[in-house]
Amino acid sequence: MKKLFRLMRYDWPLHFVLLLTNWLPDNVCIIRMRGMFARPFFRRCGKRLGLGRNLVFYDPSKIEIGSWVYIAYGCWFSAGFAVKIEDEVMFGPYNVVASSNHTRLNNSFRFGNPEGREVIFRKGCWIGANCTVLSGSDIGNGSVVGSNSVVRGIVPSNCVYAGNPGAVKKVFND
């Protein structure tokens, strides 16, 4: 019964909003309108959410979004566990955020119980295009994750983090 409630309260309405607005162009007005319509279907959502087209949110009831957040075209959020996005965070296109991992059961990954930890995006961080952010990651305030990077673990505040595996490339001193 809980799963049915979650589907009817969060998942299906959000998918319906995204489906109805995906044919509209990605310009400032439409991006803000799409975010305004989607806001009620997350666990918590601040003001001025901007959403690009072709987004996927698995279990939005576990996703918390702050104010002035922008999520670009083609991002994919799998919230098996909590995903927390603080204020002023920006996501470039085609990012993958996964807060859980598959486990094995009887030599197969298909039916193993998922395991994971929350993923946190701290205030003012920027995730470049085509990044993968894995379970248990915590991206610090004001940090930049370079395009095509893989994040697993803690990214310090105020730095440029890039690569696969990711590493700190530069520290901001302002």
| Tens of pLDDT, residues 94-117 | 999 999 999 999 999 999 899 999
Under 8 Å between Cβ of 14 and 37: no
Distance of alpha carbon 55 from alpha carbon 30, whole angstroms: 14
Q: What is the pLDDT of residue 161?
A: 98
Q: What is the pLDDT of residue 76?
A: 98
> Which residue spans within the chain are E strands per DSSP?
44-45, 50-51, 56-58, 63-65, 70-71, 76-78, 83-85, 90-91, 96-98, 100-101, 115-116, 119-121, 126-127, 132-133, 138-139, 144-145, 150-151, 154-155, 159-163, 166-171
What are the φ and ψ backbone dihedral angles of 14, each rounded to 5 degrees?
-65, -45
Closest CA to 41 of 67, 23, 70, 65: 65
Q: What is the pLDDT of residue 19?
A: 96
**pLDDT > 90: percent of the chain:** 94
Closest CA to 172 of 149, 140, 133: 140
Q: What is the pLDDT of residue 1?
A: 84
Q: What are 81's two structure tokens?
A: 């566990």
